[in-house]
């Protein structure tokens, strides 16, 4: 959703007047979209909680610092690349113009507030909140900003239908491939080879992460979490690995898989919605994958990155 919806707007802004290369704009958008399911609310964490009996609340708390860490390493990489390649810098908004700009943007800035209040207040599900946000945006564009005509509305609906259809085809293809892999029981055979080894908890974590990173190139996150991860839960308990720590690391791992070639679903989604060639996106994505893997290693080696915040709220794991 981040890559296809908000990502399309951001990529168009970044590539306007040739300020950023198309592949780079798409790659950093894809990499940043992986943070969405790490900082709560997170559907993959709910899935993991179902298969592991770990606390959803503590998993959500455990994802906050890792999500911020992922954002920090991406921003650091972006700053380095921007200086190295000499990317254009936006002109600063004069301080005297800030109140007027803020006042004009204020109705649009209320949208995240409406979304979060609807979800966390229990008034709507995330899907219903998206529908409310779309209706709110439609009213703002047509009534408040007066930037919407019937012709523009038709173009928006047509483009939305095309983008949704393209994303649906990508996901449909992924599900067919997932079915083949699961029906052949390939993940279970790979997991069994790990479970039979007598190794330390850290070595087990390292091997599991390597396996999940490889599988993430081919499978979507839900398949990995629901089919493969349960095979490792008994071994985690036996080795004394904290299940909240393991869960957050697994979710981060599967999110990295979504942007890893040859079949990173998010890469195909951005290609389908922006028509930027895959070869341009893939050529730029490797640096971002690299820094995200470094962040993943830090979470694995230093469990307190995940567990510090849950422990402040009473977690005893």
Q: What local confidence, expressed as pLDDT, does residue 50 receive? A: 86
Residue 185 in any domain: the answer is yes
Residue 52 in any domain: the answer is yes
Residue 27 in any domain: the answer is yes
Residue 222 in any domain: the answer is yes
Q: Is 281 in contact with 267 (CB distance < 8 Å)?
A: yes
How many domains are contained in the chain?
1
Q: Give 10-residue mean pLDDT values along the chain (317 residues).
A: 80 86 93 92 87 90 95 96 88 86 87 78 78 87 84 84 74 70 66 66 90 83 83 83 95 93 85 88 95 96 94 88
Residue 125 in any domain: the answer is no
For 102, the 3-state DSSP assignment is helix
Residue 130 in any domain: the answer is no
If phi over 0 gives left and psi between -120 and 50 gives alpha, with beta otherwise, what is residue 261? Answer: beta
105 by Cβ neighbours in 10 Å (0-12 / 13-18 / 19+) ranks as exposed
- Expressed as residue numbers, the domain containing 28 is 2-90+150-312
**pTM of this prediction?**
0.77
Quote the tokens at residue 246: 């393991």
Residue 118 in any domain: the answer is no
For 301, the 3-state DSSP assignment is helix
Residue 176 in any domain: the answer is yes
Q: What local confidence, expressed as pLDDT, does residue 156 receive? A: 81
Long-range contacts of 28-31 (CB under 8 A, 24+ apart): 28/74, 28/78, 28/284, 28/288, 29/3, 29/270, 30/3, 30/259, 30/264, 30/266, 30/267, 30/270, 30/281, 30/285, 30/288, 31/74, 31/259, 31/285, 31/288, 31/289, 31/292
């Amino acid at each position: 959703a981040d890559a296809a919806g908000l990502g399309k707007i951001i990529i168009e802004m970044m590539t306007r007047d040739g300020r950023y290369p198309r592949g780079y704009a798409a790659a950093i958008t894809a990499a940043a979209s992986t943070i969405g399911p790490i900082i709560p609310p997170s559907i993959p964490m709910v899935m993991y909680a179902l298969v592991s009996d770990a606390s959803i609340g503590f998993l959500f708390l455990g994802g906050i610092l890792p999500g911020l860490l992922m954002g920090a390493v991406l921003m650091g990489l972006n700053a380095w690349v921007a200086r190295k390649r000499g990317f254009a810098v936006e002109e600063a908004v004069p301080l005297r113009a800030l109140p007027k700009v803020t006042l004009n943007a204020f109705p649009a800035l209320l949208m995240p507030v409406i979304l979060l209040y609807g979800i966390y207040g229990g008034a709507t599900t995330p899907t219903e909140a998206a529908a409310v946000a779309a209706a709110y945006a439609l009213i703002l564009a047509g009534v408040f900003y007066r930037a919407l005509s019937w012709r523009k509305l038709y173009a928006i609906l047509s483009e939305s239908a095309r983008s949704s259809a393209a994303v649906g085809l990508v996901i449909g293809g992924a599900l067919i491939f997932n079915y083949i892999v699961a029906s052949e029981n390939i993940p279970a055979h790979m997991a069994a080879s790990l479970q039979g080894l007598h190794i330390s908890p850290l070595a087990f974590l390292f091997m599991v992460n390597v396996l999940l990173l490889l599988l993430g190139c081919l499978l979507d996150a839900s398949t990995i979490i629901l089919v493969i991860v349960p095979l490792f839960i008994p071994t985690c308990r036996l080795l004394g690995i904290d299940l909240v720590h393991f869960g957050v690391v697994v979710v981060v791992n599967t999110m990295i898989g979504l942007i890893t070639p040859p079949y990173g679903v998010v890469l195909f989604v951005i290609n389908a919605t922006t028509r930027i060639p895959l070869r341009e996106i893939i050529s730029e994505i490797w640096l971002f994958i690299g820094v995200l893997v470094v962040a993943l290693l830090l979470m694995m080696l230093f469990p307190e990155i995940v567990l510090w915040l849950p422990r402040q709220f009473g977690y005893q794991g």
